[in-house]
């Protein structure tokens, strides 16, 4: 049921891209809107009351509704106390869900969300279906409401999902679960619980059969995907490089530009959701052939003197780094050099230990928590900058080797964001002697 917003006192907390979309939407609905942002030097041109600096409980208690931007934790003391006092706190996806009347294909997980989201969109496009894409990637969800479409493809973060209760996707998936944003959620259990909200009211569900944490405890998934053999669900026939469905060939992925086991899982997940949406198998196949992948996600940025340089700056958690190392190691003739480190967000790095010892010849560490990765006991070198890391890697590599930037950490201790980090890496590689 759509809540009545006209005349309500609504406070938007956080004025990033999503927060600004919330302000515009709420004003259109006739709400009395004000905003808070913790950045004391933020410049804006909003014609509403904006308070900059620490979030104060007294301000929140004046609201009928608080709309929280993604990335601002509900555990923030003022927010948590407002919830205890009975103030309703939601996010942009809840506002979207109450207004949207078109079927939603919803994707979450610790890693691979954007790749699956954009590949699924390309599959829909290949079948001439009208769709829009947004949420945690691209366009904020509220800005999609005025478009003409048959399907909504939403990438959703744990922050967006934990404050959402009205979204009832036509099909939903949790791709995988590994430690991430523990500093914001407090525990792996709380983080996973937020992800599980995506299954609420879903008509169809898709889960990773090799990762039990992606399963809804209340109901079994309608379809599973995974690299393990199974007579049911979405599978992979490795000798024939074929995606299967219930043991039968679905489409070949020969010639796809996505490589590594983690990307086979991404293709399977996109195919499973596309299957629910009625996309033809030929459209799925063509989309996989044309899809070039996304920047900063296992992106080959250069090959110099036989050494491949791969930018996986989007690997902001341990699980993403493990997936990248395992996926690339199988396609590497020489040694694998890993550049890792940054802000670990309170994560446990121990799951990296085995893959580092098994696949990585040298790990070059940097950033706030780089020393924790170096302490895992593999051969390592600590540096003070990403450019220094690239130059050191260049001095020890030879033809056939691969240098992989897959930090297993957030970037904000040294960079504006993961894109900035990836761009610095690419620039440093480009400046190496040809």
The owner of tokens 């608080």 is 66
Check residue 7 and give left, alpha or beta (phi > 0: left; psi -120 to 50: alpha). left
On whether the CB atoms of residues 432 and 390 are closer than 8 A, the answer is: yes
Q: What does DSSP assign to residue 192? A: H
On whether the CB atoms of residues 206 and 274 are closer than 8 A, the answer is: no
Instruction: Give the Cβ contact number of residue 292 at 10 Å.
Output: 11
Q: What does DSSP assign to residue 200? A: T
The owner of tokens 């599973």 is 224
CA distances from 17 to 13, 21, 143, 184 (A): 12, 6, 11, 20
Rounded to 5 degrees, φ, ψ at 277 are -85, -5
User: Per DSSP, which regions of 175-241 are E strands?
Assistant: 204-208, 223-225, 234-237
Token pair for 394: 């260049």
Alpha helices in 341-398 (DSSP H): 352-359, 370-374, 386-396
- The helix/strand/coil state of 19 is helix
CA distances from 133 to 46, 64, 122, 156, 389 (A): 26, 30, 10, 11, 36
Q: Would you name the residues annotated as active-site residues?
A: 113, 136, 181
Strand partners, 225: 208, 234
Non-local (6+) Cβ contacts of 128 within 8 A are: none
On whether the CB atoms of residues 13 and 69 are closer than 8 A, the answer is: yes
Strand partners, 338: 363, 404
CA distances from 179 to 139, 176, 189, 317, 349 (A): 26, 10, 10, 7, 9
């Amino acid at each position: 049921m759509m809540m009545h917003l006209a005349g309500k006192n609504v406070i938007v907390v956080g004025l990033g891209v999503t927060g600004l979309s919330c302000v515009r939407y709420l004003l259109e609905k006739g709400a009395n809107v004000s905003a808070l942002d913790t950045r004391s030097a933020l410049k804006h041109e909003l014609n509403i009351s904006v308070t900059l600096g620490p979030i104060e409980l007294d301000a929140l208690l004046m609201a009928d509704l608080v709309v929280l931007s993604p990335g601002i934790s509900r555990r923030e003391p003022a927010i948590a106390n407002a919830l205890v006092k009975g103030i309703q706190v939601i996010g942009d996806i809840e506002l979207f869900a109450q207004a949207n009347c078109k079927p939603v294909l919803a994707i979450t997980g610790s890693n691979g969300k954007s790749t699956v989201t954009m590949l699924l969109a390309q599959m829909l496009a290949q079948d001439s279906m009208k769709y829009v894409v947004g949420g945690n990637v691209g366009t904020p969800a509220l800005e999609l409401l005025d478009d003409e479409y048959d399907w909504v493809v939403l990438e959703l973060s744990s922050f967006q999902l934990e404050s959402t209760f009205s979204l009832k996707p036509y099909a939903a998936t949790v791709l995988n679960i590994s430690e991430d944003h523990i500093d914001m959620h407090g525990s792996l259990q709380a983080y996973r619980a937020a992800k599980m909200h995506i299954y609420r009211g879903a008509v169809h569900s898709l889960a990773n059969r090799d990762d039990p944490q992606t399963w809804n405890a209340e109901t079994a998934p309608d379809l599973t995907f995974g690299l393990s053999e199974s007579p049911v669900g979405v599978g992979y026939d490795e000798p024939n490089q074929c995606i299967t469905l219930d043991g039968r060939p679905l489409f070949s992925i020969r010639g796809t530009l996505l490589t590594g086991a983690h990307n086979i899982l991404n293709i399977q997940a996109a195919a499973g959701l596309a299957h629910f949406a009625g996309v033809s198998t030929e459209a799925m196949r063509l989309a996989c052939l044309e899809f070039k992948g996304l920047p900063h996600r296992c992106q080959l940025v250069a090959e110099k003197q036989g050494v491949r340089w791969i930018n996986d700056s989007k690997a902001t958690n341990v699980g993403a780094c493990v997936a990248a190392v395992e996926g690339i190691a199988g396609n590497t003739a020489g040694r694998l050099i890993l550049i890792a480190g940054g802000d670990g967000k309170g994560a446990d790095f121990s799951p990296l230990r085995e893959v580092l010892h098994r696949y990585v010849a040298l790990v070059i560490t940097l950033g706030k928590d780089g020393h924790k990765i170096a302490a895992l006991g593999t051969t390592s070198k600590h540096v003070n900058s990403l450019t220094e890391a690239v130059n050191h890697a260049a001095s020890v590599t030879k033809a056939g080797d691969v240098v992989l930037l897959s930090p297993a950490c957030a970037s904000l201790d040294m960079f504006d964001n993961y894109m900035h980090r990836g761009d610095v890496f690419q620039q440093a590689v480009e400046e190496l002697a040809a």
